[in-house]
Amino acid sequence: MKIKAAVTPQTGQPFEMTDIELPELESKDVLIKVIASGICHTDVSGRDTGMVDPPAVLGHEGAGIVEETGFEVTDLQKGDHVVVSFASCGHCDNCMTGHPAHCRHYGELNLNSHIDQDTNKLVSRFFGQSSFATYSLVNQRNVVKIDEDMDLALAAPLGCGLQTGASSVLNVLKPEAGSSIAVYGVGAVGLSAIMAAKIAGCKNIIAIDLHENRLELAEELGATASIKSGKDVDIAEKIKEITGGGVQHALDTTGVDSVVAQAIAALDSFGKLATVVTDYHLSIPLEILALRGASIVGTSQGDATPQTFIPEMISYYKKGQFPFDRMVKFYEFDQINKAFEESENGSVIKPVLKMNH
């Protein structure tokens, strides 16, 4: 099947709109007409770092309408509205015990994409979907059916970035009502964490970022205090002044060594710092962790199970508790390079591409 895709021709190069061939539908596959796809930091890494084998098709926050299903697919049918999330094998010990985001085969199933130049066929799909395209072929395990009254274009970014931020708070940190939390970096992941912390009933919700516009939005979405970071700013001291001793919970979305050090220094006794960053190396001040009985934990996708957590986020949105539409800006599909540029310069928090059908 011939489709239109935004192709990464070489590492670090702009996207090019190209016609390519989609593989044949297999028994457990779902063919989806892509209505929209969010743009995430991991797409930037895919384009620029050599993560994928170009020419490739990125995109891993797809949403659309089911066009066709393989004969083993029983819970989805043509016309269903769906969000597409990460790929998992379904049979390893982590998948079998409710932790698909930590699938033993996560890397091989998600972190590559390639177009065979002899056949022009997409032979491996980014996050099992490669949703920067008019159609996407995915395994049924990636797919989450949603209510038809939910705007598909708006729902697209729920499949990764927003899920990661919200689930890292609600399912990994699990803050108690009345506790304190600090969120370092309030892009799409961090803002989702801010909203989740408000849902959880945190007393002190502290946003830390370089960008004033993001801090202002964080306060509108639930942050009770904000700190503009910088070289001469003692973030840990400011947090202790706000909380009277430190935070019980923290989420870092930056991966910046100095920021992580401040995050650890701002933890209260037995506090926990979660990190969602995958592409940086850190120097961790172990002495502070040891003396305070504090801990640091890594998480992929907030340890979420998309089939239950994405509908949960939609439910919060409909109740007015998770107004993630405030961070979204829509672009036409052929504006993909502009969307990436505005995301990288910080002027847009969550760009979403609308496909041209």
Q: What are the φ/ψ torsions at residue 149 (nearest 5 degrees)?
A: -85, 0
pLDDT in tens, 215-254: 999 999 999 999 999 889 999 999 999 999 999 999 999 9
Q: What is the C-alpha separation between 145 and 84, in angstroms, rounded? A: 9
Q: Boundaries of CATH 3.40.50.720 in the chain?
A: 165-301
Q: Boundaries of CATH 3.90.180.10 in the chain?
A: 2-159+323-354
Q: Is 270 left (phi over 0), alpha (psi -120 to 50) or beta?
A: left
User: Element (H or E) spanning 83, and its range?
Assistant: strand 81-84
Which CATH number applies to 165-301? Answer: 3.40.50.720
279 pLDDT above the threshold of 80: no
pTM: 0.96
pLDDT in tens, 283-297: 888 888 999 999 999
At the top level of CATH, the class of 2-159+323-354 is: alpha beta
* Average pLDDT, integer, range 292-309: 97
Q: What is the C-alpha separation between 347 and 344, in angstroms, rounded? A: 8
Dihedral sign for Cα 33, 35, 40, 44, please. Answer: positive
Q: Is 168 left (phi over 0), alpha (psi -120 to 50) or beta?
A: alpha
For 179, other C-beta atoms within 10 Å of its C-beta total 21
When pLDDT is cut at 50, 70 and 90, the band that residue 277 belongs to is confident
pLDDT in tens, 307-347: 999 999 999 999 999 999 999 999 999 999 999 999 999 89
